[in-house]
Chain A
Amino acid sequence: MSRNITYREAINEALVQEMERDPSVVVLGEDNAGGAGAPGESDAWGGVLGVTKGLQPRFPDRVLDTPISESAFIGAAIGAATRGLRPVAELMFIDFMGVCLDQIFNQAAKFRYMFGGRAVTPVVIRTMYGAGLRAAAQHSQSLYPVFTSVPGLKVALPSSPYEAKGLLVQAIRDDDPVIFCEHKALYDTVGEVPAESYAIPFGEAQIVREGGDVTIVALGRMVSVAVEAADELAASGVRCEIVDPRTTSPLDEDTILESVEHTGRLVVVDEAGPRCGTAADIAALVAGKAFGALRAPVGTVTPPHTPVPFSPPLEDLYVPDATRVAAAVKSVLDWKA
């Protein structure tokens, strides 16, 4: 049975159901257990935005608080994964990943390959990304292309509550390390989610909307921005096909290519930067494998190559919005050689 719940609740439900199903699933991170046992408190704080609330009283031995040392607890999670647990580590902001990159890039991502397939590292690192919350340059980045570029890591970017639950269940059951990127502006969005458990396979794009005029590939929070733009464009008779890859590694190349072969035009909307980002990656994919289908140059809509501004008016200009997406679609449609 499906009902409407938030993105935050969907993630929480995936954790609860996987912990009930599989005793090897453990949760660790900053303030995941903190707050429990304090006077008047029956629950833990559940992390900085309360996503893991309710887990600690339910699984007191399997929800661990960690020191404010990302390199220590990410290393612990990766080590535990190699020894048979399925840890889900919560690393508050993706911006803080930098301090534990050796653990992620050089250890977790490499074990399966360097030990000839005899080691698995079923670890999930849940982390928040994205701008829009006035959190300034050190707490607002969209750094998933960094992880997408490293072979051995899988990268998921849920765009809705349904995707959040199903992709997290798959991440936990997956035998490879997964960087699970939650957009902080999506936690309160509501959507239809089955009460039962389900896994969405990695590397399968979702066709959010069908249309024949132009393909819009959008990721994470940009999916709802693309839908808003497509609604505006529909009023003037432009039919957009919206593709949400859901995971950047593995990437569902076939669905993107098939869509572009059908529409002949592509706009990629990405909250990561314009250099070495997902938009550039997908534009290169289509230019290389579907060039003959293209009737116009690929359009990209990304933030500028700058840190995320703290000034609210500047931050609003920084993040791609529906107006920019619609303008990019129009310029692709109007293009003349």
Chain B
Amino acid sequence: MDDRITPVTMPKWGLSMKTGRITDWLAAPGDEVAEGDGLAEIDTDKIAGTLEAPAGGVLRAIVAEAGGDAPVGCAVALLAPGDVPQEEIAAAVAEARELLARGQPAEPDGTGPATGAVDVAGRSLAYATEGDGPETVVLVHGFGGDKDSWLFVRTPLAARHTVYALDLPGHGDSVKDVGDGGLVVLADAVTGFLDVLGLDRVHLVGHSLGGAVAGAVAGQVPGRVRSLTLVAPAGYGPELDSGYLRGFAGARTRRELKPHLAKLFADGDRVTRQLVDDLLRYKRLDGVAEALAALVPTVEALDLARTPLDVPLRVVWGGADRVIPASNRRSLEGRAREVRVVEGAGHMVHMEAPGEVTQLIERAVTG
């Protein structure tokens, strides 16, 4: 196959994902696309998301039509510059369709994220890691989230870097005890995580509460943080929807939780049955209700706007963020090398516009 042809493959969003269904193509053959442009809507039994162009070029052919299932790793479309001859594209399509018809995943065993846990001062912290590039990126999720909140940016980043996404105390598969719930507890956990895994010089990325945590880590050990990327961070600026925090922490049932989750996204359809279900499963675990209750006052009291940050800083916000509005970015303008606002994305900007967030992190890594 002509090496100018880039196959667009079915992504692997989570360990259990084997196939995905293309519900809609957002681009048509012949369209010029840029890296990160949305190409198709993908649905799995766990999650729905947008498949983004892995590179720029012309969408030359669609291999898997809307409504069809494709195994992870299978080519579902082909990108190539306009001057690659049509015969070559046709041959590549035929080859890809044959693989698709056999239902054969192009994915060799052992790829995708590995999960593990480390002991930090007697407390277990879980993480996922992907990729083996020379630079290390560490992703820190927000209040009520976990390492899989980063699914859509983790895998693209792992193509070039070593990526770690950890579960903060009180979250995911990590210890549920958060002590007094103070920011220091969480920041110490992240610093301890870097110590135990021997990660000396990392690019830190934090979303929401994780942004405050990442900022605190950068303040504690600036020499170990090569760059800091804050994604809709908490604590930098005056605005915060406390109703969301308290509502999320207090909700016990699907009917109570679902209206709060709608605030996280610009597009309410992102709140799928599976998302609500996964969050309820997390919230029902022993110790989680106590952990979230302890963290709420911490998040509400965060005031980091004047805390020094002696590391290269980049900031990204969703223009339609209803939990921590993008107007908070003003406190970081002038301190950051770049402040980006993604229109049409909400608080979960890394889920709604993962390409934009990935590219910003790439710029942070390459400096």
Residues of A within 8 A of B (CB): 1, 162, 166, 194, 196-201, 204, 206-207, 209-210, 254-255
Q: Would A201 and B273 count as touching, CB distance under 8 A?
A: no
Give me the 4 closest cross-chain CB pairs, A-B, nearest first. A198-B284, A197-B286, A1-B173, A198-B285
Interface of chain B residues 271 through 288 with chain A (CB within 8 A): 273, 277, 281, 284-287
Contact partner of B285 among A197, A206, A207, A254, CB < 8 A? A197
User: Which residues of B have CB within 8 Å of A194?
Assistant: 281, 285
Q: Would B255 and A198 count as touching, CB distance under 8 A?
A: no
Q: Can you list 14 A-B contacts with CB-CB less than 8 angstroms, sorted by A residue number?
A: A1-B173, A166-B284, A194-B281, A194-B285, A198-B285, A199-B284, A200-B284, A201-B284, A204-B252, A204-B253, A206-B277, A207-B277, A209-B273, A254-B255
For residue B254, CB closer than 8 A to chain A, the reply is yes
User: Which residues of A have CB within 8 Å of B287?
Assistant: 196
Roughly how many angstroms separate A204 CA and B251 CA in the complex, as a whole number?
13
Interface of chain B residues 99 through 153 with chain A (CB within 8 A): 126
Q: Would B286 and A196 count as touching, CB distance under 8 A?
A: yes
User: Which residues of B have CB within 8 Å of A255?
Assistant: 254-255
Contact partner of A1 among B126, B252, B277, CB < 8 A? B126
Roughly how many angstroms separate A254 CA and B176 CA in the complex, as a whole number?
32
Residues of B within 8 A of A (CB): 126, 173, 176, 252-255, 273, 277, 281, 284-287
Roughly how many angstroms separate A337 CA and B260 CA in the complex, as a whole number?
41
User: Which residues of A have CB within 8 Å of B273?
Assistant: 207, 209-210
Q: Would B252 and A201 count as touching, CB distance under 8 A?
A: yes
Q: Would B253 and A198 count as touching, CB distance under 8 A?
A: no
Roughly how many angstroms separate A206 CA and B252 CA in the complex, as a whole number?
13
**What is the minimal beta-carbon distance from B175 to any residue of chain A, in angstroms?**
10
Of all chain A residues, which has the CB nearest B272? A210
User: Which residues of A have CB within 8 Å of B173?
Assistant: 1
Roughly how many angstroms separate A201 CA and B252 CA in the complex, as a whole number?
8
Roughly how many angstroms separate A254 CA and B255 CA in the complex, as a whole number?
9
Of all chain A residues, which has the CB nearest B287? A196
Q: Would B254 and A204 count as touching, CB distance under 8 A?
A: yes
Q: Would A201 and B285 count as touching, CB distance under 8 A?
A: no
Roughly how many angstroms separate A207 CA and B284 CA in the complex, as a whole number?
16
**What is the minimal beta-carbon distance from A166 to any residue of chain B, in angstroms?**
6
**What is the minimal beta-carbon distance from B289 to any residue of chain A, in angstroms?**
10
Apart from A194-B285, A210-B273, A255-B255, what 15 extra A-B contacts exist at CB < 8 Å? A162-B281, A166-B284, A196-B287, A197-B286, A198-B285, A198-B286, A200-B284, A201-B252, A201-B253, A201-B284, A204-B252, A207-B277, A209-B273, A254-B255, A255-B254
